[in-house]
Amino acid sequence: MKGIVFSEFMDMVEEKFGLETLDDLIESTSLKSGGSYTAVGTYPHEEMVNLVIRLGELKNIPISDLLNAFGHHLFDTFYKNYPGFFTGVSHPFDLLEQIDNHIHVEVKKLYPDAELPRFETHRHEDSMTMIYRSDRKMADLALGLIEASAKKFNTPLNIETTLLKEDGSEVQFKIS
């Protein structure tokens, strides 16, 4: 997993819970990296899983809620740092349709070894079906990104989530 994801997670923890919690999190989690991440580095996905689980334990917050909050945080970071991805976008559906065929293509140019989730979208007249696929099983993070896009574009959305694979590696979002 790319270091930028870890760096942004650490930023979110510090913003939401404070520097003391961030220090406690790093010190109390078994991390091969020692908790030091660079944006361009690559780190084991298991470290992110361990960090999220440990933060949930420290703050008594469900993992799904933490991942969702992280999705919101990431969206804000992407919006601020990569404005080109949002040029000409006025509706969340426009953005969601671009993830695999435009945004992830550009990400791969910057980080060729990035292992990205796959998003398959099917747009209907006033709704969209989006299939999330990833061995990392972080659909709650994707949900947070979707919700944050709705907020940014001031577009109320109803989002229904259905597990397509019991292990969470494939999830369907029905968005209207």
Which pLDDT does position 151 carry in this prediction?
Answer: 97
- Write out the residue range of the structural domain in which residue 20 sits: 3-61
Give mean pLDDT, residues 43-66. Answer: 97
51 and 88 in one domain? no
* 24-28: long-range pairs with CB below 8 Å, 24+: 24/58, 25/51, 25/54, 25/55, 25/58, 28/54, 28/58
CA distances for 110 relative to 1, 16, 39, 54, 103, angstroms? 14, 29, 11, 30, 11
Distances (CA, A) of 113 to 3, 30, 119: 12, 24, 18
Residues 97, 145: one domain? yes
Does residue 153 lie within any of the structural domains? yes
pTM, two decimal places: 0.94
Q: Kindly state whether residues 27 and 104 are assigned to the same domain.
A: no
**How far apart (Å, rounded) are the C-alpha atoms in residues 92 and 144?**
13
Residue 169, CB-side half-sphere exposure with 13 Å CA sphere: 5
Domain count, the chain: 2
Domain identity same for 93 and 143: yes
Q: What percent of the chain has pLDDT over 70?
A: 100
Q: Are residues 122 and 167 in the same domain?
A: yes
pLDDT at 97: 95
> Would 109 be classed as within a structural domain?
yes
The CATH number of the domain holding residue 126 is 3.90.1520.10
pLDDT tens for each residue of 43-52: 999 999 999 9
Q: What is the pLDDT of residue 61?
A: 98
Average pLDDT over residues 81-87: 91
Burial of 96 (0-12, 13-18, 19+ CB in 10 A): buried
Whether 68 maps to a domain, the answer reads no
> What is the arithmetic mean of pLDDT over 88-107?
92
If asked whether residues 23 and 91 sit together in one domain, one would say: no
Please tell me whether residues 28 and 93 are part of one structural domain. no
Q: Which of 63-72, 112-121, 135-144 has the lowest mean pLDDT?
A: 112-121
Same domain, 100 and 41: no
